[in-house]
Amino acid sequence: MKITIVGAGAVGSLWACRLAARHQVHLWTRHNTDQCEIRFQPLGEEKIQTWPFKANDPTQLAQADIVIFTVKAFQLHAALATVEDLLPPSTPIVVMHNGMGTHDTVLNQLPDHPILYATTAQGALRTEQGVTHTGLGPTRLGAMNLAGKQYQHLAAVFDQALAPCQWLLDIRLALWQKLAINCAINPLTAILQCRNGHLALNEFTPQLTQICEEVAAVMSAEGYPTTVTDLLEQTSAVISATAANKSSMNQDVYHQRTTEIDYITGYLIARADSHGIAVPANRALWQQIKQLEQHYHDH
């Protein structure tokens, strides 16, 4: 297959190097270059691999069998704008990011394309030295519009590159489940500048319970019935599985970058408001992260 990846950061580079073993992968970046070399360290290996890629070629973009967007949620609109006029409307688009709330923009911006969303629990870290595959986890893929439903076979392509990948009939459920975990772990670890495992301490149980209670109420109102017990169990499992990790929001705050809070807790708040559900614990966390961002963006 001919695959273009838009956003060669940590996740984009991980998928690029893994897909390139069997497919022709081309990168679309925001840098003025026609080639990119990715230094990639596979999971648990010492040796660093070097993968050369062609980049930013409008012809290769137009001929792609799929275009995968691995930019952050708040970068998606601008990234789509750089490719929308270059793609035939038959090209399927796969969007892979944490958080929710971009799908309406994508469906409006590219109304004729098959649109798919993916959520991944694979871990990748980008440093000056290159990109390291830091953790294994499932990827879930599904259609966001009718045309996207014809692309179920892409789950096998993703699975072959970086297992496991599962096709879901309702990808929104998977996106909500990941959002719930991100609402619980990301803002707290960013504010406290702690590793995910720190939240396993008993002192965090009341706060995590309140966050999950609010998320469960909103998810249920959205048509994805769940309970605080289920969400707390899933959150605890991720806290222990990723105990040594610094969450993405923790790292964004540390490096004084824009966070994905508006697409994680912010999305939850927007949906809560539309149902008239009070979410004070999540709203307080959203405000604290916005204040931190504002503080470092102002200085």
Ligand X SMILES: NC(=O)C1=CN([C@@H]2O[C@H](COP(=O)(O)OP(=O)(O)OC[C@H]3O[C@@H](n4cnc5c(N)ncnc54)[C@H](OP(=O)(O)O)[C@@H]3O)[C@@H](O)[C@H]2O)C=CC1
Q: Which residues are identified as catalytic?
A: 178
11 binding ligand X? (CB under 6 A):
yes
| x-marked contacts with ligand KPL along 97-136 as a string, rule CB under 6 A | -x--------------------------------------
**Listed residue (169, 166, 134, 130) closest to 149, CA to CA:** 169
Residue from the set 196, 235, 259, 265 that interacts with ligand KPL by CB under 6 A: 196
7 binds, among ligand KPL, ligand X, none (CB under 5 to 8 A by kind): ligand X
179 binding ligand KPL? (CB under 6 A):
no
Residue from the set 3, 4, 7, 101 that interacts with ligand X by CB under 6 A: 7
**98 vs 132 by CB, closer to ligand KPL:** 98
Nearest-angstrom CA–CA distance, 239 and 196: 6
Q: For residue 20, which phi and psi values (nearest 5 degrees)?
A: -65, -15
Cα dihedral: 287, 78, 50, 162 (round 10): 70
Minimum separation from the CB atom of position 187 to ligand X (A): 13
262 binding ligand X? (CB under 6 A):
no
139 binding ligand KPL? (CB under 6 A):
no
Cα dihedral: 131, 123, 162, 143 (round 10): -120
Where b means 16+ CB within 10 Å and e means fewer, 19-48 reads bbeebbbbbbbeeeeeebebbbbeeeeeee
The footprint of ligand KPL on this chain (CB under 6 A) covers a number of residues equal to 11
17 binds, among ligand X, ligand KPL, none (CB under 5 to 8 A by kind): none
Q: How far apart are the first and last CA of the chain?
A: 46
Identity of the residue numbered 123: G
130 binding ligand X? (CB under 6 A):
no
Site for ligand X in 153-172 (CB under 6 A): none
Residues 258, 42, 238, CA angle at the centre, nearest 5°?
Answer: 55
265 binding ligand X? (CB under 6 A):
no
